[in-house]
Each structure stands twice: as C-alpha cells, then as structure tokens.
Amino acid sequence: MKIDGRRYRSLWPLADASAVEAIDQTALPHQFVTRRIADLEGAIEAIRTMRVRGAPLIGATAAYGLALALRRSADDSALQAAYRALLASRPTAVNLRHALDDVRSAVAALPVAQRAAAAWARAGAICEEDVALNQRIGDAGLPLIAALHRRLGRRVNILTHCNAGWLATIDWGTATAPIYKAHDSGVPLRVLVDETRPRNQGAALTAFELGQHGVPYAVIVDNAGGHLMQRGEVDLVIVGADRITARGDAANKIGTYLKALAARANGVPFYVAAPYTTFDWTIQDGLTEIEIEERSGEEVTHIAGRLDDGRVARVALTPDGAAALNPAFDVTPAELIDGFITDRGIVAANAKALAEAFGRAPISA
C-alpha cells in the first residue's frame, strides 16, 4: 500500500540480496524509519522489540532471519540452533513456526552449500504468498461489507482492534484487506480504530496506514467499542489473529475478547480475518492450549509519543514504582466468532467447517 503516495511493503530484500529492509514500526506514526536486518541477531531483535510485528510479518521476518543465519553456517546443528532461536522470539503467533518449518523443510535435504541461497529464495516466496493470501482474504471479505452497505443504505462502520493491516503483513493486511478492497471499489465506510493499549498499534499503525491510503477512520479508546455497539454505531467487527485452533478459538491482541462479547450482546457480526498459516491444527482448546505472552509492565506504566516540538519521548503514566500486569493476547472462543475471512473464503467457526475448507480431517477433541 502507499505512504506519501509511494508504494511500500513492510519488508523487502535489498537488490543485492545482502540483507532485508523493514519499516521500523516502533517509530510510527511519528517518524518513518527503515531498518536493515543483515543477520540472525538482527532478525531476532526486530521481532522481539516489535520493530516488525503482526503474525504474518513475524513469519516472513523469521524466514529471512533463518536464511541469513545459514550464510554464516548451514550445517544441521546451525540450522537447528537458528530455528530454535527464532521460534523463541515471540511465543504466541503460529505463523512464526509455519514460516520456519517451511524454510527448514525447503533446505534440509539440500547440500549444506546450497542451503543459504535456497532459504533466501524460499523466504521471498513466503512474502509473495502472503501478499496473494491477503488479496484473497480481501476478495472474500469485500462482499460482506458491500452487502451491509446495500442493506443499510449508508456508510458502513467497521470496528477493528490492534493492527491487522498491511504493516502486520507484507501488503494488504488481513483484517484490512476487505476494507481496502471495499474502499477502493467505492463502498462508503469508516473504520473505528481501537487504540489498542498498551502498545497502541491501532492509534499508531492502523490510523497511519488508513490515513495514508485515504480511508476514513476515527480512533477510539479500547473502552468505547461496547458503548458504540449499544448505540448501533458499529455495523461489523473485523480483527486479525495470531493463532487459531482447529475448532476455531482465536488468540489475538489483548482486548479482542471484550469486543467479541460486546458484538455478540449487541448483534454485531464479528469476523476474524486470517490466512491458512494462522491455523494451528494441532490444538483445539484455545484457553488451555495457547501460550499467552506476558510482556514487561513498563509497556503499561509508560508510553511514547510526540512532544509539541516534534521529538518523540516516553512518559510515565502511573505513580513511581507502580506494579503492572501485561498479558499481550487473549483468546476469543469460537462460539463468539461469526466466521473466518480466509484465503479459502468465509468459513464458519467450528472444527468441521474449518477442516472441510482447509482439506483436513477433523481431529476429535
């Protein structure tokens, strides 16, 4: 999508293939900075500090990180060590494991000398596949929004949480792909953007990318969505996911579950947009089987923003020495999800429908 009228992806390989370049998302929306990732350590640092974030982009970055690691040493033990180090960089997103498995299996049978180049090519293919998947998600979700517009006869108000936008992927986004497709095809809409504390990916990233693309939006605090749904001011919720179980429980950014409860209580359709790579067919019960990352309490007690003079500064929000808890994700049970918007179309949130759509035999719980 576009920034200042110029087309960008969130991550791209340099022309000489010496490294990849990524938009540093910790600097947005106040500064547009890109960072070079030239080795394994750089990839891990970028993932862990959330310079790159969003399940699909984490996967793509990890794939390139593995490819870069293999340039230093590509024997089996080096491959395994790099795989493990990258896998540990963020625990919740399943795309990370998918991408690492993908690259590893593409190179494991090759002679050591060919592995680094093959991994690099495979990482590039993962990026291209991500773009294609998101386009298909957009095509699957567009009719939902267009139908709402026809039924309501007015602008469609779509609430989203966190950033499942193009910055969370390579391009298009997951939750935003149907929104961009609908906007581009002339369906009048407005996005209600949850600011998404503690890291404010909504206020910082989703607002930024929608604004750059010209999509109408309003930022709201995470507390406001329930009230707006009660008043009929939300027509549809679309969020992304970091991991979805075989029966359809979805882990996503902390706070998603509260919006799903409010949507159900107020008859607002609640959809989760995700490619097949976000599904983890090995687990059923999201509440007991998905590890939820606990991040530093400083993300709660402090926040960064832009001072009046343009400098970016971090300020404390709490009394000195305040204790804080910071779970990063929550799990929305399948029964609160009206459907998944996927690269295979819209799929109901149950084990049977998901298994059929993705060509798998359902695993009994």
Residues that bind its own copies (CB under 8 A): 29-30, 192, 195-198, 200, 203-204, 207-208, 211, 216-228, 230-231, 253-255, 257-259, 261-262, 265, 287, 292, 297, 300-308, 312-327, 329-331
Name the residue nearer to its own copies (CB basis): 135 or 326: 326
Q: CB of residue 295 vs its own copies: minimum separation in angstroms?
A: 11
45: tokens are: 């640092």
Name the residue nearer to its own copies (CB basis): 86 or 192: 192
Q: Is the dihedral of CA 348, 349, 353, 354 positive or negative?
A: positive
Rounded distance, CA 188 to CA 198, Å? Answer: 31
- The 10 Å Cβ neighbour count of residue 143 is 14
User: What residues act catalytically?
Assistant: 242
Q: CB of residue 335 vs its own copies: minimum separation in angstroms?
A: 11
Name the residue nearer to its own copies (CB basis): 194 or 343: 194
SS3 for 314? strand
Rounded distance, CA 325 to CA 345, Å? Answer: 38
Q: Which amino acid, residue 358?
A: F
Rounded distance, CA 343 to CA 269, Å? Answer: 19
Q: CB of residue 337 vs its own copies: minimum separation in angstroms?
A: 14
Contact 180, 138 (CB under 8 A): yes
Measure the CA angle with vertex 159, ends 26 and 295; round to 5°.
35
Name the residue nearer to its own copies (CB basis): 178 or 255: 255
Contact 132, 275 (CB under 8 A): no
Q: CB of residue 327 vs its own copies: minimum separation in angstroms?
A: 5
